């Protein structure tokens, strides 16, 4: 079950992402770290995240799972030292666990491959 501190942290990350102060991949990682191992019966996703964030997670999750077998995904981050490539392939397994939880709640359809469809 999510603690009040975890919920506050997740909402803070959601706010920072919405204010464009947190890159998508960092927001995804924060959400996945908080929710992928949680039983979805203990929360309502729409109480934690807005529509835009849920759509991002579904879209990026599909992409992660699609590219999982072809070398994974990477992002380019700008730093003071110049651009650097960050491997975010490890998020695919967390997305798979999250999507299975969301299927149990009836929020999405997930075929086990990489196709996801929102139901609620």
The whole-angstrom separation of Cα 56 and Cα 99 is 13
Nearest to 2 by CA among 32, 38, 49, 41: 38
Residue 17, domain extent:
4-118
Rounded to an integer, what distance in angstroms lies between the CA atom of residue 37 and that of residue 97? 7
Give, in order, the Cα–Cα distances in Å from 85 to each of 22, 28, 59, 74, 115.
17, 17, 21, 6, 27
The pLDDT tens digits for 49-96 are: 999 999 999 999 998 998 877 777 677 777 777 788 877 888 899 999
Number of domains in the chain: 1
Give exposure, 82-105, as e/b (b: 16+ Cβ within 10 Å).
eeeeeebeebbebbbebbebbbee
Residue 83: strand pairing partners: 78
pLDDT tens digit sequence for 64-75: 998 877 777 677
- Predicted model pTM: 0.86
């Amino acid at each position: 079950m999510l603690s009040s501190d975890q919920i506050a942290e997740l909402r803070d990350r959601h706010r920072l992402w919405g204010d464009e102060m947190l890159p998508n991949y960092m927001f995804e990682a924060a959400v996945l770290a908080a929710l992928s191992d949680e039983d979805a019966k203990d929360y309502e996703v729409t109480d934690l995240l807005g529509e835009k964030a849920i759509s991002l997670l579904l879209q990026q999750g599909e992409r992660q799972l699609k590219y999982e077998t072809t070398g994974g995904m990477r992002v380019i981050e700008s730093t003071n030292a110049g651009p650097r490539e960050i491997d975010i392939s490890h998020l695919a397994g967390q997305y798979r666990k999250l999507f299975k939880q969301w299927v149990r709640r009836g929020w999405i359809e997930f075929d086990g491959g990489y196709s996801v469809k929102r139901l609620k």
